[in-house]
């Protein structure tokens, strides 16, 4: 799949239309942009989205890149999951450590996003970069379920893959439990 300039231009068009209030559907959408795989594609993605944020700001709107890898590290420290004692136990009982990560990280990362974005309005765009750093312990759908009714700004989530993957879907009896605001570009 590689980098697709046409799809990226369409995403940018939709984001600007949403920020201007011209692209209104039931509610503010969350945009998902699939990219990759390919050599250097992750760096291309980061650069392109950083440039998009600068163009949004240049047009008088509010925008930012949020690096989920940073939120992950901050969350691990705050949950005391990187202490020497915990890391020693982890090597002895990886199954329990894995369960702790899966149970605590989605809530902690979602809480951080909510705290940071709760006061932003529909004229703000947040690009969530490095979502792949959360997998397999946190799926995008888990975060989006928790922030959906609380966040009132435009979210853009570049997703590393050439098709929807397990990171975007929460497997349950009913299938995916998060559909509402996704728009794939």
For residue 125 the two structure tokens come to 């765009």
- Give the per-residue pLDDT at 167: 43
- In order of their start, the domains of the chain are 5-184 (3.40.50)
Burial of 53 (0-12, 13-18, 19+ CB in 10 A): buried
- 62 within 8 A of 124, measured Cβ to Cβ: yes
| Per-residue tens of pLDDT for the chain, all 185 residues | 567 899 999 999 999 999 998 876 656 778 989 887 777 888 999 999 999 999 999 999 999 999 999 999 999 898 887 788 777 776 666 777 778 788 889 999 999 999 999 999 989 999 999 988 888 888 888 888 888 888 989 999 998 876 554 444 444 444 444 445 566 77
- Give the per-residue pLDDT at 16: 95
Cβ-count burial 22-32 (b if 16+ within 10 Å, e if not) = ebeeeebbbbb
- What value, to the nearest 5°, has the Cα angle with vertex 182 and ends 121 and 50? 60
- Give the per-residue pLDDT at 172: 46
Pairwise CA distance, residues 148 & 177, whole Å: 12
- Give the per-residue pLDDT at 173: 44
Pairwise CA distance, residues 74 & 63, whole Å: 22
Pairwise CA distance, residues 167 & 131, whole Å: 9
- In sequence order, what DSSP letters do the residues of 145-161 get, joined into one string? HHHTTT--SEEEEEEES
- Give the per-residue pLDDT at 175: 45
- Give the per-residue pLDDT at 17: 93
The single residue listed with the structure tokens 């590393």 is 160
pTM equals: 0.84
Q: Which residues contact 107 (CB under 8 A, 6 or more apart)?
A: 146
Pairwise CA distance, residues 82 & 78, whole Å: 9
């Amino acid at each position: 799949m590689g980098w697709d300039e046409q799809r990226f231009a369409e995403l940018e068009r939709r984001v600007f239309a949403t920020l201007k209030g011209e692209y209104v559907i039931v509610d503010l959408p969350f945009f998902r942009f699939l990219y990759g795989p390919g050599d250097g594609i992750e760096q291309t993605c980061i650069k392109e989205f950083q440039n998009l944020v600068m163009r949004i700001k240049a047009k008088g709107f509010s925008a930012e890149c949020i690096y989920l890898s940073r939120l992950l590290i901050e969350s691990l420290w705050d949950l005391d999951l990187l202490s020497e004692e915990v890391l020693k136990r982890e090597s002895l009982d990886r199954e329990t450590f894995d369960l702790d990560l899966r149970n605590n990280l989605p809530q902690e990362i979602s809480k951080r996003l909510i705290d940071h974005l709760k006061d932003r309005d529909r004229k703000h765009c947040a690009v969530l970069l490095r979502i792949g750093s959360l997998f397999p312990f946190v799926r995008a759908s888990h975060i989006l379920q928790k922030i959906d009714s609380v966040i009132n700004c435009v979210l853009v989530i570049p997703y590393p893959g050439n098709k929807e993957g397990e990171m975007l879907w929460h497997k349950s009896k009913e299938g995916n439990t998060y559909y509402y605001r996704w728009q794939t570009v």
